[in-house]
Structure 1
């Protein structure tokens, strides 16, 4: 063992210890690694910094942008709504649906990308259901890793092993050769996480909130008792007029909003004063017009669902403001203030002395301390809170955390993701190029702007991955990997095939703790196939075990980018992965050693 190898192993051991104790932060440890490796003389500075140019780092950065585009258009939240609705109040049901969804999507595209896309979905579900993110992020990462065991193209290590088989003169694996093993492991993984999730802890108490919601605000201001929906008929004199000019009668306040259904865009609610009324639109009013008035305006009364405003919470916002003592609004009415024209928001109600002002609030004079409930696009709500100096803003309702400022661009976001998936599945371009194309498409279609794109990238995650990648080269340069491979063959070369399969799995999994699973597959695939040749056995079970072990990166947060992505949002420590990942990896080991020889005879 050379002195350089000893230095690298000592540095590796120190790094693992720092990860384990959680001091300093993992991204800071990665910076220390970047500084220390060139000092050992094993790698040059350019070689150490090469991790920042690694395609996986660029891929993850692009996928953060893609995920932000899906969040800004509300796609991720709608997916979260679907999962929550299907699961109901059952946390186990939610976990099962989440893991199945992630595994299914990860079977045809990058598992790293799938996890990056699902992180905002999971955070949204946790916020709305009151669950701790700790209970959901670990199932998310485990399902992402297990998705790599479902198809040949699901993860890079599978393709590496398949390519090595072909290089050595054998037929490669089929598209679904790994699927039977993956399905069994996925089923066991779901059952395992349902039993073991209690060890993840629960930090809901630390993140609890007493913030208002749309529902409580609507009840306090008695908005639901006045709200009505009316479809605009073909003969309505309102057609062609803007909302700001659509005064239905002298006694009525302004229209609260306009619902419109568009092809591919679904139904949206607009509060903008310049919105022009069209035939078939639905007007949302804050009082009930008389039958004569409805006939004159050709309005058809529609039902109002109980959670009407909540259903549009990602398109239209609400906020409470207080009339200040020196406000110009004192002594003036809502109608005189012309909120829609001046501030681009609509007043839904007024509270005076702790009580709702009633249906005639538009004509009542405002007093200091009165609170107003206003509605409008979230951009207008934020601008009103910042610029309206006559009113003091109160806390935004909790729905403000799930704003979808580009909801009408959702079809374009989905188109961008679909193009990315097709490119990844077909292999027409490398995965990193496919992700960059999707990110550029989202910019072209105005799904996301540059400031939002830069803010969406989680730089500590990229720094951690880039800082750890040089270890693979350092171990290879110093002969550490070859030393481990020789020890494996000399120790188990004369043993039975089952024991060698187990040893291959353990060796692959252990190496994967320190280097990427793709690099691990590159190193272990030829060893596995050569071992099969020495035993006079089929190479396929040996190659399959390497594929399964390379995807079994459950044991540490740095074993795979999939794990690294969920550390921060899940508030996990190094020991959380060890506590749950090691037992499950042992379970996958047992399944692999028993099942692989049955389906792929030696």
Structure 2
């Protein structure tokens, strides 16, 4: 083993360790690793930032902007609402939602598709008086499966395509992934619809109970103002009003400290804070009936307004809010919006809401003037749930937006423009017609993913040029021995899929694609089935809530625990391998 190989293996091992640990943002880990590789002499100084100029990076960024514009125009909403109904059986509902989610994910970012459909799924669950526990995980898995159908459906497909162009001279085209991806998606959707959701704990299980309790319920706080009619009363006195508004009184905060127990018989004073639990409308109604105030209506923070908006939003893993508190970010003083409540799988907190450290998967309740609350949500990086908070939807432009996008994709497919240019034209048209604003163009891009990709591409190239990927390929070949090529292909899929369950799928694809090529060259067979296997496996992260952002997003609203995912995810991954390998070999022969 050479110095370069040893250095890169050790560095990537540390990187993977930090990514699995998850305490430090993956983009920072990747960028620091890139700088260390440059200092160590394994990545040339002149190539240090070449990854940021790769076409794959540009395409991923443009796809995210297009997804945002289609959502703004209401195109996703139109498609979804045509088929969503609360009157269907659970299995039928899951099947229809899964098919719609997969179809949308094939042409837009699967995170955007999930967020839009998740709000509709939660709405349907409320109307049907059932828990979302059984339906959100199948929806998340379906949007992941749908991304495998086209080139732009998921970042690993773009990464593998651009690697093929660099290594073999031509990329995978828009619909090269469709035959294999469609087979995997159809079989996967059939599984989650008919069997998968039944493998989750029954409605009597603790996790399901947590999901029902967490369905729309927040822990929030209300302030006893100086002129409140509740001064001198106790929580016990207010219970009748609380019951009327379906709100639970959890305790009392005085002088910044939570009083022991429920303090139900303690007389309220001006400045006290009541800890409440309920859905947003119930909490707001109780606050008004009890003559209380929220922090957003206190004059000293400059938020008094005749029109305040409540926004429910999910906290994804790359949000600015993760690991921080509202106090840290000074939301009220600097941004004019307050954090009213937090929902976390039915948990109740001892900390004040503004001092509560937010975690990925939480659902936060923001309150503030309508003109500010959307901007603050975008700045925080949280994903709005409630349809009423999407003030930018321009439904009259939906058909125009769909037509422009379809025309650009058609132009790319027939060879008039490269995909990157076609998508750039779409973004330009959307910007000119104000379907996506100038600020949204930049805010739509997941910059941590861009930094991750731009940082890891030079490391992947260095590992390939140093012979490191060949060593990994030889190690895999040594395990299969004299087995046929399809057995080696299967093992490559299993290893890649396992890595993707714990690592970012872009990082997995960047490392696994060169390994797949080296294996194919060693076996003297076509590299295409091995590259296709990497693309499929890197996208299939179903075992954990950290393998894919969609799995993280549903964790809080669905009331899922870490160990719930493998119940449906493990057989689904086995099915994808069982179906994917024959499909790959049929459509992409060795």
TM-score by length of 1: 0.54
Q: CA deviation at 1:551?
A: 1.1
Mapping 1:88-487, distance limit 5 Å:
88=87, 90-104=89-103, 109=107, 113-126=108-121, 128-129=123-124, 131=132, 135=137, 138-147=140-149, 155-156=157-158, 178=180, 181-182=183-184, 185-187=187-189, 190=192, 193-195=196-198, 205=213, 208=216, 382=370, 399-487=387-475
Are residues 29 and 576 of structure 1, via their aligned partners in 2, closer, same or farther at CA, if it must alter by over 3 Å?
Answer: farther
Q: Which string of whole-angstrom CA distances, capped at 9 and with x for unpartnered residues, describes residues 146-185 of structure 1?
A: 425999xx945886899899989xxxx9897647854664
Are residues 469 and 530 of structure 1, via their aligned partners in 2, closer, same or farther at CA, if it must alter by over 3 Å?
Answer: closer
Question: 2-side partners of 1:180 and 1:66: how far apart?
Answer: 22
Decide whether the 8 Å contact of 1:413 with 1:442 is kept in 2. Answer: yes
Q: CA deviation at 1:592?
A: 4.4
SS at structure 2 position matched to 1:524:
helix
Question: 1-side partners of 2:372 and 2:177: how far apart?
Answer: 56
SS at structure 1 position matched to 2:533:
helix
Are residues 157 and 465 of structure 1, via their aligned partners in 2, closer, same or farther at CA, if it must alter by over 3 Å?
Answer: closer
Q: CA deviation at 1:489?
A: 4.1
Question: 1-side partners of 2:413 and 2:68: how far apart?
Answer: 22
Q: Which string of whole-angstrom CA distances, capped at 9 and with x for unpartnered residues, describes residues 40-83 of structure 1?
A: 32114553433333333322322232222222222222333234
Name which of structure 1's ranges 419-428 and 563-572 shifts more when overlaid on structure 2. Answer: 563-572
The residue number in structure 2 matching 1:66 is 66
Question: 2-side partners of 1:161 and 1:452: how far apart?
Answer: 30
Are residues 64 and 550 of structure 1, via their aligned partners in 2, closer, same or farther at CA, if it must alter by over 3 Å?
Answer: closer
Are residues 155 and 445 of structure 1, via their aligned partners in 2, closer, same or farther at CA, if it must alter by over 3 Å?
Answer: same
Decide whether the 8 Å contact of 2:102 with 2:146 is kept in 1. Answer: yes
Determine if the alignment matches structure 1 residue 566 to structure 2 residue 550.
Answer: yes
Q: CA deviation at 1:414?
A: 1.8
Are residues 209 and 195 of structure 1, via their aligned partners in 2, closer, same or farther at CA, if it must alter by over 3 Å?
Answer: closer
Question: 2-side partners of 1:164 and 1:556: how far apart?
Answer: 26
Q: CA deviation at 1:483?
A: 0.9
Question: 2-side partners of 1:384 and 1:547: how far apart?
Answer: 45
Question: 2-side partners of 1:165 and 1:384: how far apart?
Answer: 48
Q: Whose Rg is larger?
A: 1
Mapping 1:515-530, distance limit 5 Å:
515=507, 517=509, 520-521=512-513, 523-525=515-517, 527-528=519-520
Question: 2-side partners of 1:558 and 1:5: how far apart?
Answer: 31
Q: CA deviation at 1:422?
A: 1.7
Q: CA deviation at 1:450?
A: 0.9
Question: 1-side partners of 2:435 and 2:445: how far apart?
Answer: 16
Decide whether the 8 Å contact of 1:100 with 1:143 is kept in 2. Answer: no
Question: 1-side partners of 2:87 and 2:439: how far apart?
Answer: 36
SS at structure 1 position matched to 2:538:
coil
Question: 2-side partners of 1:471 and 1:208: how far apart?
Answer: 44
SS at structure 1 position matched to 2:482:
coil
Q: Which string of whole-angstrom CA distances, capped at 9 and with x for unpartnered residues, describes residues 460-510 of structure 1?
A: 343344344343223213321011223344554533455344345446657
Query: Which 5+ residue runs of structure 1 have no aligned equivalent?
Result: 212-320, 323-342, 344-380, 386-396, 534-538
Q: Which string of whole-angstrom CA distances, capped at 9 and with x for unpartnered residues, describes residues 330-388 of structure 1?
A: xxxxxxxxxxxxx9xxxxxxxxxxxxxxxxxxxxxxxxxxxxxxxxxxxxx95799xxx
Decide whether the 8 Å contact of 1:150 with 1:178 is kept in 2. Answer: no
Q: Which string of whole-angstrom CA distances, capped at 9 and with x for unpartnered residues, describes residues 24-50 of structure 1?
A: 233443343344332332114553433
Name which of structure 1's ranges 519-528 and 62-71 shifts more when overlaid on structure 2. Answer: 519-528
Question: 1-side partners of 2:90 and 2:542: how far apart?
Answer: 24
The residue number in structure 2 matching 1:79 is 79
Question: 2-side partners of 1:32 and 1:136: how far apart?
Answer: 36
Name which of structure 1's ranges 573-582 and 585-594 shifts more when overlaid on structure 2. Answer: 573-582
SS at structure 2 position matched to 1:408:
helix
Q: CA deviation at 1:121?
A: 1.7
Decide whether the 8 Å contact of 1:149 with 1:181 is kept in 2. Answer: no
Q: CA deviation at 1:23?
A: 0.9
Determine if the alignment matches structure 1 residue 57 to structure 2 residue 42.
Answer: no
SS at structure 1 position matched to 2:188:
helix
Question: 2-side partners of 1:577 and 1:33: how far apart?
Answer: 31
The residue number in structure 2 matching 1:256 is none
The residue number in structure 1 matching 2:246 is none
Question: 1-side partners of 2:165 and 2:576: how far apart?
Answer: 24
Q: Which string of whole-angstrom CA distances, capped at 9 and with x for unpartnered residues, describes residues 202-255 of structure 1?
A: 6675572589xxxxxxxxxxxxxxxxxxxxxxxxxxxxxxxxxxxxxxxxxxxx
Name which of structure 1's ranges 428-437 and 580-589 shifts more when overlaid on structure 2. Answer: 580-589
The residue number in structure 2 matching 1:255 is none
Decide whether the 8 Å contact of 2:119 with 2:386 is kept in 1. Answer: no
Question: 2-side partners of 1:398 and 1:446: how far apart?
Answer: 23
Question: 1-side partners of 2:137 and 2:213: how far apart?
Answer: 14
The residue number in structure 2 matching 1:367 is none
Are residues 401 and 544 of structure 1, via their aligned partners in 2, closer, same or farther at CA, if it must alter by over 3 Å?
Answer: same
Determine if the alignment matches structure 1 residue 531 to structure 2 residue 523.
Answer: yes
Q: How many residues align?
A: 408
SS at structure 2 position matched to 1:553:
helix
Are residues 74 and 595 of structure 1, via their aligned partners in 2, closer, same or farther at CA, if it must alter by over 3 Å?
Answer: closer
Are residues 189 and 31 of structure 1, via their aligned partners in 2, closer, same or farther at CA, if it must alter by over 3 Å?
Answer: farther
Name which of structure 1's ranges 173-182 and 92-101 shifts more when overlaid on structure 2. Answer: 173-182
Question: 2-side partners of 1:408 and 1:510: how far apart?
Answer: 44
Are residues 105 and 410 of structure 1, via their aligned partners in 2, closer, same or farther at CA, if it must alter by over 3 Å?
Answer: closer
Q: Which string of whole-angstrom CA distances, capped at 9 and with x for unpartnered residues, describes residues 62-120 of structure 1?
A: 223222222222222233323422x645554344224323444566x5xxx34154144
Question: Could you tell me which of 534, 544, 553 is aligned with 2:529?
Answer: 544
Are residues 114 and 472 of structure 1, via their aligned partners in 2, closer, same or farther at CA, if it must alter by over 3 Å?
Answer: same
Question: 1-side partners of 2:168 and 2:509: how far apart?
Answer: 20
Decide whether the 8 Å contact of 1:27 with 1:464 is kept in 2. Answer: yes
Decide whether the 8 Å contact of 1:555 with 1:582 is kept in 2. Answer: no
Decide whether the 8 Å contact of 1:73 with 1:407 is kept in 2. Answer: yes
SS at structure 2 position matched to 1:419:
helix
Question: 2-side partners of 1:575 and 1:467: how far apart?
Answer: 32
Are residues 494 and 181 of structure 1, via their aligned partners in 2, closer, same or farther at CA, if it must alter by over 3 Å?
Answer: same
